[in-house]
Structure 1
Amino acid sequence: MEREIYMDYAATTYIKPEVLEEMNPYLTQYFGNPSSIYRISRNTKMAIDIAREKIAGGINGRRDEIFFTGGGSEADNWAIKGIAFANKDKGNHIITTGIEHHAVMHTCEYLEELGFEITYLPVDEFGFINIEDLKNSINDKTILVSVMFANNEIGTIEPINDIGKICREKGIVFHTDAVQAVGNIPIDVKAMNIDLLSIASHKFYGPKGIGALYIRKGIKIHNLIHGGAQERAKRAGTENVAGIVGMGKAIELAVQNMENEANRLSCLRDKLIERLLQIPGSKLNGAIGEDRLPGNVNMSFEGIDGEILVMKLDNLGIFASSGSACSAGAIEPSHVLLALGIPAELAKNSLRLSMGSGTTEEEVEYLMKVIPETIKEFRKSNEKWNNR
């Protein structure tokens, strides 16, 4: 294999060298349990506090509003279940969308089984919710609105400012899954009236297995994990010190370079989209321009199979993903693409290319040549496409 091009940064990122360097001492030298009182444990406790401050700064929150978790999925589960159980005396109605990550969707489905009522807001062809739909869905039993900041498949950035303003005026808790957004686009939890926000370190060049939930001070929420007094008695379990330190360093680096990196990736994104749209039977999925994550490209192509295309690109050293997911042993079209109104057959024929700090202009130029050629070759054996 001549070359390898990674185009799946939305799935995960590598750990930056500076992050790993900061983590190393807490894997070897400073290994004390932060709950102990001797010196090496005080060192780890101090490191956690410093990281907490960095993460709070990255979203304009307060240090005492950051609670560490095992990742983004745990943060989503905690936010939704925690608010639901803590406020069930006030109501049992939760509003979310039809394009959320499965960590939100499946949690809401679980709560439905327990008697909670869930409203799944529709989205338009670009993936945006309608603010009027949100307003009309709120009733006197609504206790939570959970809308993702930016979609992991199509890159659409939701109108978070408007959603937050409505929820604050109505006295309803607002949670956003910001796993794809943190470190990539500016976030201000205060200005945006966000009450809870989910973060995952491995999406912005930090380690896997560590995340955080921002909980605005004063928000009533039940614990998800019990058993100890860690995280100010809100999340039991010995802290992943090295992971926390790495996460703090990673968000610090991401925020420092956010504007320049966003501009660079947006240029590469738009260049790649423009070329891929020249392929006959191609369609861009998601929003256009500044309402889309800088590094996200999601396309559907008639006359191909998304999973097979991904495998063919893999053979060429290009690592990407399809919009389809495996469910019960069968390939099912993405629920996100179906929510946009895309026919199931076309939704299965999707390709997501997500760029990051390692992506170069030369790599994008190569993709602009290889992907059209691969699709053209694939279609030669597709009788339905050739006889259309």
Structure 2
Amino acid sequence: MSDGCCRTASRDQSGRAWVNEAVRLVEADANRSADTHLHVFGLPAAWGIDLYLKDESVHPTGSLKHRLARSLFLYALCNGWIHEGSTIVEASSGSTAVSEAYFARLLGLPFVAVMPASTSPEKIALIEFQGGRCHLVADAGSIYAEAARLAAETGGHYLDQFTYAERATDWRGNNNIAESIFDQLSAERHPVPTWLVVGAGTGGTSATLGRFVRYQQYPTKVCVVDPENSAFFEGWVNEDPSHVTGVGSRIEGIGRPRVEPSFQASVVDAMISVPDAASIAAMRWTSRTTGRSVGASTGTAMWGALRLVSEMRSAGETGSVVTLLCDGGERYADTYYDDGWLAEQGLDIGPYTATLERFYETGAWVEPTSAR
């Protein structure tokens, strides 16, 4: 029972100086990293449609995930979840872990990436190069629980990209990717794009784009492209956020065996399910056409973007379409760019390559008659 006296309580603030310096370091990294380029993809001018690729491969860690990692660290620091000496843990075997390892090293913090034991040595090497440690587990489905366990065991912090990606980035602006795209389009003939086309790994990027265009009252629509075996497409179509496939995606960086918590289906206007062979055909074709080596997630996005361009042409519409060059193709020399690997996977990219070449030459989009 209260005795009527005023009561006060406080917490030790000795760690605030370290947090302030950590935030400064992360922000300084952003200031040193100039905004990424928005490249024009050369469609025939007579079509009245412009296609752009936002080149996220030029970030210090080479992919779109650099933005996510920066946002996750700032979010955790400003929420008081990361302290001096905290062990940082993530469930990731890909580009997110590479970027998070970079920021952990920037702050002098240990970083552990929890990943399936089947993860390729090349991926492990990229994470270790940035100063991270890889913790392998036999069951791929257990990476989330194992990451949470390790964080609790070490008194550290589990970044949990699949939960926090949609909220760690300020979707109203603050130099997020959506604001950057619209700023860079401001002097173009179609400055407000008809479509923004992205894949979904965590769902954070599509959430940021979808919220931003609504906040700014733009008519722009967001299309999410989804590779084989991923749960996002069926989950969106059937309005089932619990949908799972239980199978991993072959297209690194996008696609998930479950609909992740960060995926905000309500701000997505359309989805396109893309066969893996189409993703890889578009990846190789885009690299040849632009002279820029791109990864397979960019191929997935380009397949979807060009299909939308063809639909706009058929409807007599003009406008612009923007998609992302998520990372460079140099990471995939032994997989997507290797014909032997394609044969082992049973993937025939020929029909999809023919579709792309015919479209570029004639403007006619003809779906492949066979798909594998």
- What TM-score bracket applies, with the shorter chain setting the length? 0.3 to 0.5
Indicate the structure whose relative CO is greater, using CA pairs within 8 Å and at least 6 residues apart.
1
Instruction: Give the structure-1-normalised TM-score.
Output: 0.32
Instruction: Give the structure-2-normalised TM-score.
Output: 0.33
